[in-house]
Structure 1
């Protein structure tokens, strides 16, 4: 009976080790795909953050706040990585939450600061010895992957040297800092999922819905423009086309808004019907690009009626909450 139990335990440990090796491989592969400039130092840092959490206990809130204030004041949002948060290491026990979330007013500075401090102080930290043992398993798998990372042996020796004297925390490599500008705080998974993630996901969903609303508005505006062209509704066209807008004809001729509207009004340009085939829209804040493909029946510049497969590539801008066409370039498809 004892022998069977022993065999079961050994098999379970071997199975767990195999899973661990697969998980390590998956983590490293994903990390290198996301951050190809990483060195072994950066892989190590993500793993120890996942296992150990914040680098030290936090007792002086004002000092930590002053450091975060300085980081917020000296960091441009354009320099930050585009992500809002990412899990640490292999088991995702902790999350890196970007200070972008404060700069974009998704969460408050006090909320992130409080989550960070409570995460740092929330539970007993594992021993450095236990982390050293875990790292030896991780580096054993990384060695077998033969990643050919720069300074690999030097980084490996440096990590061994700090672990040998009871230390574990290190900084990101200079290459990583230069390429990715890491500015984040470490938050324990439970705190993150209960308190921060719902706010971040709500904001993301809100932005997504706003983006969808904008796309619907632009699609409707495109259809409204053609109906106004057919009806020779100059007043409506005047609101759809921005002041200074330009139409670029298939010949390459650039026609300003005023002249274009005049030629519709006087019968030089006559539109009779339109059938939409495809409309694609990309929104970027208060600007957008749209490609519309429609079969347009028209008679222009004294010619007979003809149905063109007309493609319009347009640039739009949103002013005072209203979208307008700024430039449209015509071609066929």
Structure 2
């Protein structure tokens, strides 16, 4: 069940972000398994980083949430800004999401890597299975850790988001009724 579900999130991300490379595939797997716990070591710095990134992000009418697993979504800052939602709401959602650690994250991450392998072999991703295996072998040799988006992805996709638990997607429609949009 998890395999088919994650494969669908993976395919959707590849369609939304065609410059995805093997490195971005690993980043997606890491975020889908671990969430954003590694990003929240200093609350005030995390808040300042969010505010600075929101300031630099151009508003766009895109999806606010892009699901990446049954548990997590990428919350797009451009959409958040487009809808003029308060930055503090996003910070609170992000903070609560990052505070909850998963005990089973590493085995899930490894399972997600295998799902990407199968999808790359089926040629349904923007990178080849050879590129994938080469990158994953090199990555795993250094141990499980977060990675940045690849340079091609950053240049073309201009990613600006926060990883949040999907349960908070349900809160947004309620919050939006509290302000006039």
Which TM class, normalised by the smaller chain length?
A: 0.7 to 0.9
**C-alpha distance in structure 1 between counterparts of 2:32 and 2:99, whole Å:** 15
Out of 87, 111, 114, which is 1:137 matched to? 114
Out of 196, 219, 226, which is 2:172 matched to? 196
Q: 1:98 to 1:141 in 2, by over 3 A?
A: same
**C-alpha distance in structure 2 between counterparts of 1:39 and 1:139, whole Å:** 11
**C-alpha distance in structure 1 between counterparts of 2:77 and 2:99, whole Å:** 20
**Which runs of 5 or more residues in structure 1 are unaligned?**
1-15, 208-333
**C-alpha distance in structure 2 between counterparts of 1:159 and 1:189, whole Å:** 27
**C-alpha distance in structure 1 between counterparts of 2:9 and 2:125, whole Å:** 17
Out of 91, 96, 111, which is 2:74 matched to? 96
Out of 15, 27, 33, which is 1:45 matched to? 27
CA offsets per residue over residues 171-228 of structure 1, 9 Å max, x none?
Answer: 22222222221111111122332x334335x59xx86xxxxxxxxxxxxxxxxxxxxx
Q: CA deviation at 1:110?
A: 1.2
CA offsets per residue over residues 229-280 of structure 1, 9 Å max, x none?
Answer: xxxxxxxxxxxxxxxxxxxxxxxxxxxxxxxxxxxxxxxxxxxxxxxxxxxx
**C-alpha distance in structure 1 between counterparts of 2:61 and 2:129, whole Å:** 25
**Number of aligned positions between the proteins:** 180
Would the aligned equivalents of 1:98 and 1:183 in 2 still touch at CA under 8 Å? yes
**C-alpha distance in structure 2 between counterparts of 1:84 and 1:95, whole Å:** 9
1:26 aligns with 2:13: no
Q: 1:182 to 1:36 in 2, by over 3 A?
A: same
Q: CA deviation at 1:56?
A: 0.7
Greater share of strand = 1
Task: Provide the TM-score with structure 2 as the length reference.
Answer: 0.79
Out of 51, 56, 67, which is 2:38 matched to? 56
Alignment of 1:1-333 (within 5 A): 16=1, 20=3, 22-56=4-38, 58-77=40-59, 80=60, 82-88=62-68, 91-104=69-82, 106-128=84-106, 130-147=107-124, 149-150=126-127, 153-193=130-170, 195-200=171-176, 202=177
Q: 1:143 to 1:117 in 2, by over 3 A?
A: same
**C-alpha distance in structure 2 between counterparts of 1:24 and 1:61, whole Å:** 30
Task: Provide the TM-score with structure 1 as the length reference.
Answer: 0.46
**C-alpha distance in structure 1 between counterparts of 2:133 and 2:121, whole Å:** 14
Quote the RMSD (CA, aligned, Å). Answer: 3.0
